Amino acid sequence: MRFCRFQRDGKTGFGIIDDADTVTVIKGSPFENYAVTGESHVLGELKLLAPIVPPTFYAAGVNYREHVTFAAQVRGEEPVFPAKPDVGYRAVNALAAHEDPIVIPHDASEKVQYEGELVAVIGRRCRNVPEDEALDYVFGYTIGNDVSERTWQKSDRTLWRAKNTDTFKPMGPWIVTDLDPDDLHVTITLNDRAVGEYDVSTAIFGVARYISAMSRYMTLVPGDVLWMGTDGATENMKDGDVVAVEISQIGTLRNPVVREQDPAGS
């Protein structure tokens, strides 16, 4: 099943999308006992929102070998692969929906880059979950673009503006249930040119391993998201570009890129 979140007439709702792209509005949360209403809309006529606003926004960060190697080369260092799944965090202020613009601040460098990745959405409260049961707690999967300003990523003490500037976390377009995360393929395009692709299954630590490790110390709750990291090298995005992340069996998350005007006019 496909679940989306949308805004219409100033109100926010969840819906189920059928194969004919008709959205049937539901009452309640997709994670609980929702009720299907008689209200439906054409998908293309709805303003989609990020499919969930997570209570906690987890991100694996470095989790694919080629990306670790690429990042090390940029820094002129030897690659160091993570020895265990130490999860990181992102912030909800930065969320953007499918088709929303990624707005680059005027004082950012040219090095604003995409990172296309799988997102697991937690569906059931859990703590201390063994790895072989961990996927039972996943509601479904969506797509994320972990937009990153590389100079701030290096210069700042934390990833606050490098990765959490408003609009730097596009997520969507919807959540798809009943998928095997190890059976998914990611393709990233910049202005319709393929710039990266990889199999989700080549992650250093998979979804189940991460959830099991996290839940040893943390209670995961419905709506929490876990971004799984990207693979490969990444390129700069500039004003006027369109970036798209496609994941097989899920869909395509596409966003235009806009650079903020310098108010000083420089």
220 in contact with a copy of itself (CB under 8 A): yes
Backbone CA torsion sign across 241, 228, 195, 109: positive
Of the candidate spans 68-76, 177-185, 217-225, 233-241, the one that interacts with a copy of itself by CB under 8 A turns out to be 217-225
* Among positions 221, 233, 242, 258, the unique one binding a copy of itself when judged by CB under 8 A: 221
Q: Is 11 in the site for a copy of itself (CB under 8 A)?
A: no
Distances (CA, A) of 114 to 66, 236, 256: 15, 7, 12
What burial letters (b/e) apply to 48-71, b meaning 16+ CB within 10 Å? bbbbbebebbbbbbbbbbebbbbb
The structure tokens listed for 229 are: 């990291």
Binding of residue 218 to a copy of itself (CB under 8 A): yes
Interface with a copy of itself by CB under 8 A: which range of 64-72, 92-100, 171-179, 232-240?
92-100
The residues in 136-165 that bind a copy of itself, with binding defined as CB under 8 A, are 156-158, 160-161, 164-165
What length does the chain have? 266
Asked if 51 and 23 count as a contact pair (C-beta separation under 8 A), the reply is no
Q: Which residues, 98 to 137, sit near a copy of itself by CB under 8 A?
A: 105, 127
Residue 197 near a copy of itself by CB under 8 A: no
Give min distance, CB of 45 to a copy of itself, in A. Answer: 27
Q: Who's near 3: CB < 8 A, 6+ residues apart? A: 14, 15, 16, 17, 30, 51, 140, 174, 175, 177
Burial of 140 (0-12, 13-18, 19+ CB in 10 A): buried
Minimum distance of a copy of itself from residue 189's CB (angstroms): 27
Q: Shortest Cβ distance from residue 40 to a copy of itself (Å)?
A: 30
* Contact residues for a copy of itself, defined by CB under 8 A: 53, 55-56, 61-62, 82, 84, 86-89, 91-94, 105, 127, 156-158, 160-161, 164-166, 214, 216-221
